[in-house]
Homo-oligomer: A and B are copies of this chain.
Amino acid sequence: MLEGLSAGVVTDVSLTQRITDALDEVESVFRTQLESDFPAVNDLCRHVERYRGKRLRPILTLLSGLAAAGGDPERGLTARHATLGAVIEMIHMATLVHDDVLDEAEVRRRGETVNRLRGNETAVMLGDYLISNAFHLCSSLGDYSLNLDLGAVTNTVCEGELLQLHHRDDLSLDERTYLAIVRRKTASLVGACGRLGARLAGGSPQSEAALEAFGVAAGVAFQIQDDLLDLTGDPEIVGKTLGRDLEKGKLTLPSVLLLASAEAADRDDVLAAIVARDSGMLRTALMRFGAIEATLERARGFVREAKANLEVLPESPARDLLGSLADAVLDRSS
């Protein structure tokens, strides 16, 4: 993600270098934490490392530290940021591994998923191992309040996932409930990157709140785009199994908006397509009735909201890069 941006928008080479170096440190902490005495466990963890792609959450954690400190290169980032970035990435990896079990997905980041390769049982346990290591690593920061904060966040993430499962095959799912689920299952952790990244940099309560709100809004936009790609993306480009939401009876924003806006007769056709898991028919309806554009407009709204939150922060290259990151959420095709 950073690579793409640094080629285009970012001109601050020292900032890019700083973040790249810190990401190397995140990677090293991540790998060291997961080292086990058992080769079988190490093999699994090495497989999961291949899932790590955009590293959006560690990048956000690092940039939030810098932005909260006003971009002064002598302030902001500490070794603790790299540890926190690794903790949050580990939590994210755990949710990916368990999500793939839930979705019966076979491909992630162009490789086979753990559940596909080693079975659901190993995927469930590997996810648990990642969650456990994330909390263990977080405790190594020596501040119980960070554990308390992140524990509340992961409670919320799980509530979002459970709520989503509860609404499977719920054809009356509305936008408000969709957003309640997305805020919990995805955006709360992205918000934590902003809040805790700022806190570790000694940022003010205002900067913590602003960067949390930035993360939450960007996280919602990211998930909306993810859900859109699941319905309309090219699996070759996205690099993972698509169409699982429809297959699993998970209504997402495009279908919710389509159903809310369609006339009664068309509505019945759309419902029939959803019930029949007919992705071709659903895609056609999404395009015909402008639901893709309507979904993108919602996502753009969240990106605007994210960027508006940056305005209370002092001007800095890190703040600018956060703004570009928010824009990039919608440009991505993978």
Contact = CB atoms under 8 A, between A and B. Distances in A.
A132 B147 contact: no
Given A101-B120, A139-B144, A126 B38 contact: no
A328 B160 CA distance: 42
A136 B154 contact: yes
Contacts of A143: 144
Contacts of A101: 120-121, 124
A159 B159 CA distance: 26
B125 A102 contact: yes
A226 B73 CA distance: 58
A256 B44 CA distance: 27
A178 interface: no
Interface in A146-167: 147-148, 151-152, 154-155, 157-159, 161-163, 165-166
Interface of A: 36-38, 40-41, 44, 94, 98, 101-102, 118-122, 124-129, 131-133, 135-145, 147-148, 151-152, 154-155, 157-159, 161-163, 165-166
9 contacts: A38-B159, A41-B159, A101-B121, A102-B121, A119-B165, A122-B162, A126-B162, A138-B147, A139-B151
